Structure 1
C-alpha cells in the first residue's frame, strides 16, 4: 500500500521528464494515486509523449492557467477521467530570461514582470479556484518555490514572483481551510530542469549548495522534492497548511 492509495491527483505543468512535475507524477503513481497531468500550447505535444514514460500513462489535460476559458473548463475536463480531485500540484513558473533574470532586476520592464507574476504567482490562486469544485471533501494543494525570503544572485524578478507565490499560498490556506483544503509549498534547492537552464549564473547557486548543505545536494536528483510533495498530498499532514517545507539538504538553515 502507498500513502496516496485511492487519491486523485492533478499535476499541473508537466513538460519534460526532467521536470519536478514529472518526478512528482511518477512518485504519486508509485504511491497508489490516479494521476492526471497538464500543459498547453506547443508544449502539449511534448507532454503527451513523455506521459508514456510514467509507470502508467496518465490522461493529459490542456490547461493554460492564465486562460479564463481553460480554467472555467477544468472541472469538466477532469471529470472526463475521474469524478473529483484529492490533490493538486502547481508546478508552473515563467519569467523572460532575456529581460528579468541574470542581473537585470533594475531594467526589468513591467510587461514582463506582470507576466511573470501572473504565471508564477497569481496562477496558484487561479488554479485553486478552478479546482475547488472538484475537491468537495477537502484535499491538498501543493506548489513549488525557491526560497523567496531573500535576494539571490541572478534570480531577480523570479525571486519576487516566488515571494508573491509564498504569500499567495498563505492566503489560500486561510481562505480554503474552512473547506478542508490545505495549501502548502515545497522549497527545493537548485535542480537541473528546463527552467533552471534559462537562468544565467544558475551554476553558481549549484556550487554554493554543494559547499554548504549539511546533507549534501544532488541537483540531478528530483526524487527528494517529489517525495516531499507527495507527503503533503497525503493524509500524513492533516493539520498542516500555509507551510513551506524546505527540501534543500539543510542549506536554508546554515549561516556563512
Structure 2
C-alpha cells in the first residue's frame, strides 16, 4: 500500500535513527514518498550520516528555522531536488538547560524566548517558508507532547508545547483556504536525543508504564511515526487543527 506515492515530503529534525522523525522519513519512503531532510550547523554532518540509513538516499538541506536567511532561501534549495512539496514535518524543539529541570520560577526571559522561538514560533516560520512550494494541497505535521497538564521537570518546554498547539490551530485557520492542513501528533515519551536533555525523563516513563491502557514502549518510535505518515497522506483530507494522541491512551485516563 503506497499511502504517499509520488509525494514530496520535507522532514526536519532527524538526528539519530531512534528519533520519531527518522522513522517518519523511513516509513514515508516505504510508502512511496520522495523525502528530503533538513539540518544545520554542528548537527548537519550527523543528519547526513543518519540519512544513509534510510531505505533510499535522501538529500539534506541546510535549514536553521531561527535564521530568516535560511527560511528565505528554502524554496530554492528544495527546488534543486523536487519540483514542489506535498508535506512538511516539524520535528523541532529545544529549551536551554535553565528552562528545564524544576527551575520554572527562576528561568530568565532569554531562555524562555529561545524555547518559544525554536519550539513554537518555528512551526509558523517553517510553514510559511514552505507555502510557495505547496502545489494544490499540502499537509503540515508537527510533533507534540501533551500540554494540557504540567509535567515534572518539563517546565518552560511544556509552555512552549502549549504555544505550539495554539500555533497549529491558528495556522490551520489561516492556511485552510489554501487547502493546507495543519495537525499535530502528541506522542508518548520516546528515548530520543531530545528526551535525554530533559532532567528526570525517567519520571515520564514511570507514568506511562503505570497508566497506559495500551502497553507503551519508550524505545519504539514507530507508532508515532505511522500516525504522522497517515496525516501526510490523502486519508485525512478534511482534518486540520487536530491533535492526534499516540500515547497508549494515557491522555484519556484519570489519576
TM-score, shorter chain, exceeding 0.5: yes
TM-score under structure 2 length normalisation:
0.99
Displacement of 1:12: 1.2
3-state SS of paired residue (2:120): helix
User: In 2, Cα distance between the equivalents of 1:156 and 1:202?
Assistant: 12
1:184-241 CA distance string (max 9 Å, x none): 0000001000010111111011111011100010000000000000000000000000
* Residue 134 (str. 1) matches residue 133 (str. 2): yes
1:106-126 CA distance string (max 9 Å, x none): 011100110110000000000
1:37-83 CA distance string (max 9 Å, x none): 01100100011111000000100000000000000000000000000
User: In 2, Cα distance between the equivalents of 1:225 and 1:57?
Assistant: 23
3-state SS of paired residue (2:158): helix
3-state SS of paired residue (2:41): coil
User: In 1, Cα distance between the equivalents of 2:74 and 2:207?
Assistant: 41
* Residue 150 (str. 1) matches residue 156 (str. 2): no
User: In 2, Cα distance between the equivalents of 1:34 and 1:154?
Assistant: 38
1:109-146 CA distance string (max 9 Å, x none): 10011011000000000001000000031110000010
1:14 maps to which residue?
Answer: 14
Displacement of 1:20: 1.2
Displacement of 1:85: 0.3
3-state SS of paired residue (1:86): strand
1:71 maps to which residue?
Answer: 71
Q: CA RMSD in A?
A: 0.6
2:252 maps to which residue?
Answer: 253
1:10-50 CA distance string (max 9 Å, x none): 00121111211111101111111000001100100011111
Where structure 1 has 5 or more consecutive residues not aligned to the other structure, the ranges are none
1:114 maps to which residue?
Answer: 113
User: In 1, Cα distance between the equivalents of 2:57 and 2:36?
Assistant: 9
User: In 2, Cα distance between the equivalents of 1:40 and 1:121?
Assistant: 18
3-state SS of paired residue (1:136): strand
* Residue 201 (str. 1) matches residue 221 (str. 2): no
User: In 2, Cα distance between the equivalents of 1:123 and 1:35?
Assistant: 20
1:184 maps to which residue?
Answer: 183
User: In 2, Cα distance between the equivalents of 1:216 and 1:230?
Assistant: 22
* Residue 229 (str. 1) matches residue 218 (str. 2): no
User: In 2, Cα distance between the equivalents of 1:17 and 1:42?
Assistant: 17
1:5 maps to which residue?
Answer: 5
Report how many residues are paired: 255
1:143-164 CA distance string (max 9 Å, x none): 0010111111110000000000
User: In 2, Cα distance between the equivalents of 1:20 and 1:126?
Assistant: 21
User: In 2, Cα distance between the equivalents of 1:49 and 1:191?
Assistant: 21
3-state SS of paired residue (1:232): helix
